[in-house]
Structure 1
Amino acid sequence: MEDGSDFRRWDDLIPDALGLIFRHLSLEEVLTVVPRVCKSWNKAVKGPYCWQEIDIESWSNCCAPEHLDRMLQMLITRSSGSLRKLSVSGLQNDSIFSFITQHAGSLQALSLPRSEISDSIVEQTAGRLSTVTYLDLSYCCKIGPCALETIGKHCKLLVELCRNMHPLDTAGKSTQDDEAHAIANSMPKLKRLEVAYQRISTEGVLKILSSCPELEFLELRGCWDVKLDDKFLNEKFPKLKVLGPLVKGYYEMIDWDDCSEYYSDSSDYPAWAFLAEEMGEEGDFENEEFWDDEGRIGDLEFRFFEGLEDAGFFGWPPSP
């Protein structure tokens, strides 16, 4: 600066740079605090710069399905076709998956664990996921070999697939070698594959190994029917790292039943989540009718800048 001070005009940063900075903030802050700082920050949040990578997996574990759908529709629409990465848990219907694929022209990484999507919707829409290189369909119990094979045929760039299952979902079930064959027949470029707790056989694993020559990592934790000889693996696949079938470590000692409440739908939905929607897609954050004299909307309290009393939610540190 000409006067020698260390002052910087953060509001003058280009939207692309602001988007990179805002990715380090929580979803709550980006949707509620940041837009109130200044017009340029408001514009950046409403544009695609903040939403090229959307990771709401932790938040989605604790929200109601209808709220999740609306949040995804809002954020993906804001990305304006530039969405590269999406991580979300617990999709409850096929329609929201179809919506995601309609905006997947630039999508490279898609993580949808614990989702209730079906084989039929995957078969109908997999052609829209041709740019995806990473896919996580772990704990998705309603899809099977048909969906996986369709994905493999359309996602020619796919190099990482996570298809882990919950131990309780596969206990007592017959072999799932049909999924192994679907992967082997349609995903030859895989470099990383996770199929923990799948009821897959040794034959199924060998089929994958022979059909995916570029495979570098294979997770088989909890695949109790698989019997592989270490010497055989070292000789035939020297570059391959295999984890399992034996399960070791504290992580595997967790009582899954005790964790079930954490992943269940919760009625305690945070009011901030649809602040932007209540203000309209144009993001009318300047409209004072949304705020009372103490800076609250319903049960939500904010703290603002430039002499105003608050700066964030109750309990949040002041914003910079």
Structure 2
Amino acid sequence: MPKPKRYVWRIKQKKQTASSSSAPPPPPPWVELPREITADILSRLGTVEILLNAQRVCSTWCNICHDPSMWRVIDMRNDEDTYMEDVFDKLCRIAVDRSQGQLLKINIEYFGNHDLLQYITQRSSQLRHLRLVSCDDILNGSLAAVAKNFPLLEELHIYLTAICTVDIEAVGRSCSQLKSFTFNDCGFRGLTRFRSLQIDVNDQALAIAVNMPELRHLALFGNTMTNEGLCAILDGCPRLESLDLRHCYSIDLKGDLETRCHQHIIDLKCPRDCTHGYEFSAQICDYNSGDDQSVWFSDYFNDYEYDYDDFDYDDFTNPFNGEYLDEDGFFW
């Protein structure tokens, strides 16, 4: 009688297969990268991408994304989405907190208000570079209220954001190391009406001349100043190396003033120079037409056509409002 077949080998093989399948998968290859290389790669993603996505990939990345050295530079660009302003505000505060006082450079575009600006400056005494772009809720006097909190500031760049003479004076007095100042607006033509309304078109230029003597680089795209304001800047800022006067149409750059500018300024952009490459809209507001001031103001506001269908929006259905962010910047 033949002996029965034995299946020992197959049983052992099944056990081996089962044990091998329960072994943990190997770690992803990026985990083995040196920490400094990983940090360099992550820093290229941008602040928002890190907070909303990158830090969730693995524990190694999460740990690196909480390192204060990762937050010495914060770049927050909202792309003009008003529905996301509260989210960007919360993300910006999280990024500032993670810097633990090491923040050196910050850029804020299309969101932000006085409270956020104050929050940043109270926690960033080492700040060297501040850039604000179209921050409509940062009002006149906001910079003056916080200027004393960043005494080491070297560069201040303001685009399409309201600041006043008081702000410029306070920044100049508090930030003695300021070397580069940008205050760019829309270009204006026909500003004789401002003078008839007793508006001082040179007040900002005079504030710069008196309070920012150490400037090397100055950009005043679209400023309302006249030759008087320009002369004051040349007198008060003798170390200027670059000066952007494009769209400053109240300046008549001729004769001795033109010669003086070209002799003392290495990089000079004149009022009617080309704006090719300028990163924002080079819009010109022309008030030359019409003599009646009341018509001027009326025409100014009537130029805007409002489509009220654009405002059909329910805040309670917005999945991106601030109520959905936890303290680490995660949606829940």
Gaps of 5+ in 1: 1-6, 291-296, 298-320
Q: For 1:190, which of 191, 215, 225 is the aligned residue? A: 215
Whole-Å Cα distance in 1 between the matches of residues 153 and 120 of structure 2? Answer: 13
Is residue 138–residue 161 contact of structure 2 (8 Å, CA) maintained in 1? yes
| Correspondence 1:151-190 to 2 at 5 A | 151-167=171-187, 173=194, 174-190=199-215
The counterpart of 1:148, out of the listed 164, 168, 178, is: 168
**Is 1:246 the equivalent of 2:272?**
yes
Distance 1:13 1:158 in 2: 39
Q: 1:199 aligns with which of 224, 240, 245?
A: 224
Which sections of structure 2, spanning at least 5 residues, go unmatched? 1-26, 286-302
2:62 aligned with 1:62: no
User: What percent of counterpart residues are identical?
Assistant: 24
The whole-number CA distance in structure 2 between the counterparts of 1:156 and 1:246 is 32
In 2: Cα distance, 1:277 partner to 1:151 partner: 34
Question: Structure 1 length as normaliser, TM-score?
Answer: 0.72
CA contact (8 A) 1:48 1:80 kept: yes
Q: Please say which structure displays the higher CA radius of gyration.
A: 2
Name 2:22's counterpart in structure 1.
none
Mapped pair 1:229 → 2:254: yes
Q: Is 1:137 matched with 2:145?
A: no
Is the contact made by 1:91 and 1:97 (CA closer than 8 Å) also made in structure 2?
A: no
- Map 1:260-279 → 2, pairs under 5 A: 277-278=325-326
Structure 2 length-normalised TM: 0.69
1 CA distance for matches of 2:217 and 2:225?
A: 17
Structure 1 residues 236 and 199: CA distance shift in structure 2, 3 A: closer
The one-letter code matched in structure 1 to 2:142 is I
CA distance in 2 between partners of 1:29 and 1:90 (Å): 17
Residues 77-124 of structure 1: CA distance to partner in whole angstroms, max 9, x if unpaired? 111111111001234431111111112212111001222323433222
Cα 1:53–1:92, aligned 2, differ >3 Å: closer, same or farther? Answer: closer
**Divergent runs of 4+, >3 A:** 7-10, 12-17, 26-29, 118-121, 167-175, 230-237, 249-258, 264-278
CA distance in 1, matches of 2:209, 2:269: 19
Task: Specify the code of the residue in structure 1 equivalent to 2:56.
Answer: R
Q: Distance in 2 between matches of 1:213 and 1:137?
A: 22
Structure-2 change in CA distance of 1:119 and 1:209 (3 Å):
same
CA separation in 1, counterparts of 2:72 and 2:37? 13
Structure 1 CA distance, aligned partners of 2:66 and 2:312? Answer: 28
Q: Determine the structure 2 residue equivalent to 1:317.
A: none
Q: 1:184 to 1:15 in 2, by over 3 A?
A: farther
Greater relative contact order, per chain length (Cα 8 Å cut-off, separation 6+): 1
Q: String of CA shifts for 1:252-283, please: whole Å, max 9, x gaps.
A: 6669999x99xx999799968979943x43x8
CA distance in 2, matches of 1:54, 1:151: 21
Q: 2:228, 2:102 → 1: CA distance?
A: 41
Distance, in Å, in 2 between the alignment partners of 1:123 and 1:245 is: 29
SS in 2 for 1:104: coil
Distance 1:266 1:208, change over 3 A: farther
